[in-house]
Amino acid sequence: MKPIILTAAITGAETTRKDQPNLPITPQEQAAEAKACFEAGARVIHLHVREDDGSPTQRMERFKESIEAIRTAVPEVIIQISTGGAVGEAFEKRLAPLALKPDMGTLNAGTLNFGDDIFINHPNDIVRLAEAFKEYGVVPEVEVYESGMIDVVARLVKKGVITHTPLHIQFVLGVPGGMSGKPKNLLYMAEHLKEEIPTATWAVAGIGRWHIPTSLVAMIAGGHVRCGFEDNIYYHKGVVADSNAQLVARLARIATEIGRPIATPEQARDILALPAK
């Protein structure tokens, strides 16, 4: 079976230390967590940043501090920044950190109800963001929350708005307001993607209780997997995880047991069509 890429979404924009006391917030904490996750098997760090008081931010200086700290601690890891930020963040602030030229960044493919709020991604802004990826030479990771967004992405590929190939798609399933992480939903998403963009690779992030079901289905179906405190704070029901690395290590162990080897850093870069280090 082909190698699997594990991504660690170590902080996110919504999780708080009230719910997860082990949440890494400062650049130094994020660097230490990134190194631990890499050693446990993660090859990509999905990065949101926070101010020292824990509030989410898209401030360029903070992203720069965290990116530099992570690159110093674990130079082999792929850094993938979020352009989503916290729900409600101004679009210009969301886009700005791409100028730091991380390895990858997220490109959200549509608007959806997000809990008690609305995560707005206007069609014109999606195009502007796609153009910014090309301008800065950053590889996009396209995030989709329901099946209609696959059709949106396919149209953008056909029009030449999104040009990176093979394109990497991140299914985010289980957000209140989006598609749930039921196994049949994930299998349908993977099948639909193959029909619309045959060359694309895919991964899944199962939110909350959907973390384990989606991860196991993805491993068997040939996809890749994201885990971490952005998506799920528990190791078992009601048991808060000790660290992001603990969640990564469990997935690495399961993948290895079923014959999906953990991608080496070089293999991960090749699969995602990133320049070699």
Strand partners, 114: 117
Q: What per-residue confidence (pLDDT) applies to 221?
A: 98
Q: What per-residue confidence (pLDDT) applies to 63?
A: 97
Rounded Cα gap, residues 250 and 277, in angstroms? 28
Q: Which two tokens stand for residue 185?
A: 């939903």
Rounded Cα gap, residues 260 and 145, in angstroms? 25
Q: What per-residue confidence (pLDDT) applies to 130?
A: 97
Q: How confident is the model at residue 116 (pLDDT cuts 50, 70, 90)?
A: confident
pLDDT digits (tens, 9 = 90+) for 173-219: 999 999 999 999 999 999 999 999 999 999 999 999 999 999 999 99
pLDDT digits (tens, 9 = 90+) for 82-96: 998 878 888 888 999
User: Which domains occur in the chain, in start order?
Assistant: 6-271 (3.20.20.70)
Rounded to 5°, angle at Cα 13 from 104 and 233: 100
Whether residue 166 is preceded by a cis peptide bond, meaning omega within 30 degrees of 0, is yes
Name the residue type at position 42. A
Q: What per-residue confidence (pLDDT) applies to 91?
A: 85
244-257 vs 27-40: helix axis angle to the nearest 10?
A: 20
pTM: 0.97
Rounded mean pLDDT of the chain? 96
CA dist list (Å): 246 to 34, 37, 211: 12, 8, 14
Q: What per-residue confidence (pLDDT) applies to 83?
A: 94
Q: What per-residue confidence (pLDDT) applies to 89?
A: 83
Rounded Cα gap, residues 213 and 197, in angstroms? 25
Helix or strand run (H / E) with residue 187: helix 183-196
Q: Residue 227 burial by CB count (10 A; 0-12/13-18/19+): exposed, middle or buried?
A: buried
Q: Which two tokens stand for residue 245?
A: 């690395």
Q: How confident is the model at residue 115 (pLDDT cuts 50, 70, 90)?
A: confident
pLDDT tops 80 at residue 97: yes
Q: How confident is the model at residue 243 (pLDDT cuts 50, 70, 90)?
A: very high
Rounded Cα gap, residues 229 and 187, in angstroms? 24
pLDDT tops 80 at residue 150: yes
What average pLDDT score do residues 162-180 get?
A: 96
What average pLDDT score do residues 247-270 get?
A: 98
pLDDT tops 90 at residue 235: yes
Nearest to 145 by CA among 108, 183, 118: 108
Nearest to 13 by CA among 92, 89, 99, 124: 89
CA dist list (Å): 245 to 13, 43, 103, 183, 226: 19, 12, 21, 25, 12
Q: What per-residue confidence (pLDDT) applies to 85?
A: 82
